[in-house]
Amino acid sequence: MKEPKLRFVTQKAVEDLTKNLNLHYTLSDYQDWEFIVGKPKDIEKYINYYATEFDEDNKFALMEIIIQATEDQTTENDFFKHLKILLKLLKENFRLHEYSVYYWSCFENENIEDCWKVTPFMRDLWQNTSSANILVSKDMNRFLNIFKQKNEFFDLNMFKINQGV
């Protein structure tokens, strides 16, 4: 599989989004800013702002915040609610966020249980949207079955990745 071109959050995007979204960040080093600064409770604000943002560097950085905020949701319902929106945005703007989808797909790790909650969904999106010829939907099915085993209230039919996204 060919890794997409590496992309990083720019300092200008950090400055713009910190100001425009009133984000609080005290460290002088901007490394991992996008994974630290977002708050799961503010995800709606980030999603709404994404729709108004036109600068591609800002959109790229903001999407990283949205992905992390989705990952950090504390309830299953909130996770899947925001995941569905996240996947729709990623699919609509795949070329801009191709590296993010690849990164969060965690392909370097074969054990899906050692990855993020969003990983099986990112892998499925990668398979269905990128030019990569890999089979990853089995990872999502495996993850969903594991999740169902750990949570008796989880309904596999509640979330269909290939429907409605």
Lookup: tokens for 157: 């039919």
Report pTM: 0.79
| Across 15-24, 34-43, 139-148, least confident range | 139-148
| Nearest 10 degrees: Cα torsion 37, 13, 73, 43 | 110
Q: Is the pLDDT at 65 greater than 70, yes or no?
A: yes
Q: Is the pLDDT at 41 greater than 70, yes or no?
A: yes
Cα(116)–Cα(96) distance, rounded to whole angstroms?
21
Q: Is the pLDDT at 24 greater than 90, yes or no?
A: no
Q: Is the pLDDT at 153 greater than 50, yes or no?
A: yes
Q: Is the pLDDT at 62 greater than 60, yes or no?
A: yes
Q: Is the pLDDT at 137 greater than 70, yes or no?
A: no
Contacts (Cβ under 8 Å, ≥6 apart) of 91: 125, 129, 165
pLDDT for position 135: 42
- What residues does each domain of the chain span? 11-158
Each residue of 91-105: pLDDT tens digit?
999 999 999 999 999
Q: Which amino acid is at 111?
A: N
